Structure 1
Amino acid sequence: MTTDVWRIGGELEVGRLGFGAMHLPTEPGPGRKNALAVARRAVELGVTLIDTAHMYGGGANEALHPYPDDLLIATKVGMARSAAGEWDHDARPEALRDQVEQALRRLRRDHIGFLQLHRIDPSVPLADQLGALRELREEGKIGHIGLSEVTVGELDEARRTTEIAGVQNRYNLLDREHEPVLAACASAGIAFLPWRPVAWGDSGAHAEVASVAAELGATATQVSLAWLLGHSPVILPIPGTADLAHLEENTAAARLRLPAAHRARLDRLAAPA
């Protein structure tokens, strides 16, 4: 797979088209066996960044070992099951530390290169949440710190406590609500990892996207991912799938270059927020 690279935190070099592991089944059985085959195939296709989280399967999604040493497994903490069994915020310093320790055991590593705060916990001061992660970094247990679903103001506030290497917000060709956050990341040299990068397939239902795809001999999904890669150099899409054919389709998007005229047509589809 050929694609541009980005250095997360100016240090961790990855291909800009990553893989989101959220959709991989975690229950034992054929589904899990296939999930691991998809993850292995992603690496074979050149993916060097896999994004997962404690929330995905209660940590079971992090159990991807073995993998190459140069593969960056980015995970997320800050969500936990409530007494009622529902997922909710929990970014108390002690909870974050416990989740990091659990992730290290599941990943079978003594260091997490890129750790993201899954959501800001409204019940805990942000400085306390990020202060705990900064302490873990100083202890050598994590490397670079990222955020997810934040505003420009929250990003600015976070950067007053610690360095931020990445932001993961919802963003795609047809949903550009977080364009201001992307612009802030680009200005600061912060990686922007859009989740739901292809609008869960909605792009294919849009006539203009379908038209561009047909003219280029590509799929709507590939056009959507190629648009993201060309929209800003800090964008690192992390499309996810549990299907091998869909994985092949996604990774092929790294080789698609949109002509200027086609890109202009796509740019007009959604006005920046």
Structure 2
Amino acid sequence: MTMNHVNRMPRITRREFSALAAAPLLPQVALAQTSAAPPLTTRAIPGTGERLPVVGLGTASVFNSDDEPTRRAAAQVVQALVDAGGRLIDTASTYGDAESVLGKVIAGATLQGKIFVATKLEAPDAAELQRSLARLKMAKVDLLQLHNVRDARQSLAQFKAWKARGLCRYIGITSTYHGDFAALEAVLGREKPDFVQVDYSLDNRLAEERILPLAAEVRAGVLTALPFGRARLFRAVRGKAVPDWAQDFAGSWAQFFLKFLLADERVTAVIPGTSDPAHMMDNLGAMRGRLPDAAQRQRMIAFVNSL
């Protein structure tokens, strides 16, 4: 992953950042929870036309432990997602206990059928799939992805067979390692999965050049991981207010960063991770209201590059 000067800034958590900068913007964030809120933004999955709300939930590093505090936080975040009209949750077999935590939360709240569940396997291995389904307490998932594709010759034949058997509705591939993008491109172009998941953020736009055009060509949906650039973006704007010229479409920095990505119609959904229901609601605010136009996106890039 390419790095720039913002990576060397002092670390700040989003919770600390919110206390410093987000409070004046809470009335705008809360708009998404009122009856006067703008319509929910959804995008069609290219291969089928099924529509997904454009903001989901990522679970890497946030639901790692299957303990009571983690399950309680997960239940609150998932309920916030559903209450705001969201559906998509992305996890993986290697995210600690995240699959188990989600399985218990979804089953306990009787949310099966209301959540679009995506998980990932490290290999086309039947035992790994059965373990994931058992942890999730599900007979099938919506999206089954091959995690961290590295081999340009990788076949998705087993994933396609599982899809034909009804163990998943869609299949996909992922990578957040730029050195593996050539392999990802080869598999995406040859195997034509339903989805591809990559890292993409306002300060990390390589996927915009290499992956998104090919995804559009093969009609694959795009999920964007790490949309806050591993918190680099929050560190970069620490102590700053959302610019006046962006406040009519972004009620917070989170919405500023997410709406930059969603303004590219090739992006099906963004999947920021959080264990905080307030942050979940803030993120979900990006599903409503207008998106920046092309000129504003360029201004957003210039703004972040100037920090």
TM surpasses 0.5: yes
RMSD: 2.8
- Structure 1 residue aligned with 2:173: 147
| Runs (5+) with no aligned partner, structure 1 | 79-90
Q: 1:57 to 1:121 in 2, by over 3 A?
A: same
Q: Give the 5 Å matches for 1:1-273.
A: 2-7=40-45, 9-22=47-60, 23-58=62-97, 59-63=99-103, 64-66=105-107, 67-78=111-122, 91=123, 93=124, 96-120=125-149, 122=151, 126-127=154-155, 130-149=156-175, 151=181, 154-160=184-190, 162-179=191-208, 180-206=210-236, 210=240, 212-215=242-245, 216=247, 218-260=251-293, 261-268=295-302
The answer to whether the 8 A contact 2:93-2:121 is kept is yes
**What is the rounded CA distance, in whole Å, between the counterparts of 1:11 and 1:61 in structure 2?**
30
Matched position secondary structure for 1:194: strand
Identity %: 26
Instruction: Tell me the CA shift for residue 187 of structure 1.
Output: 2.7
SS at match of 1:147: strand
Structure 2 residue identity aligned to 1:55:
T
Q: Report if the CA contact (8 A) 1:201-1:221 is conserved.
A: no
Q: Give distance in 2, aligned partners of 1:199 and 1:256.
A: 23
TM-score (norm 2): 0.72
TM-score by length of 1: 0.80
How far apart, CA to CA, are the structure 2 residues paired with 1:100 and 1:155?
24
- Whether the 8 Å CA contact 2:93–2:119 is kept in 1: the answer is yes
Q: Deviations over 1:11-37 (max 9, x none)?
A: 543111111122234331223212222
Instruction: Tell me the CA shift for residue 41 of structure 1.
Output: 1.6
- Unmatched segments (≥5 aa) in structure 2: 1-31, 33-39
Number of positions where the alignment pairs a residue of Structure 1 with one of Structure 2:
252
Which one-letter code corresponds to 1:47 in the other structure?
G
For 2:170, the aligned partner's letter is H
Preserved CA contact (<8 Å) 2:46 2:220:
yes
In the alignment, the residues of structure 2 paired with residue 263 and residue 49 of structure 1 have an alpha-carbon distance, to the nearest angstrom, of 25
1: CA distance between counterparts of 2:130 and 2:154?
A: 21
Name the CA shift for 1:30/1:154 in 2 (closer, same or farther; >3 Å). Answer: closer
Aligned partner letter, 1:6:
A
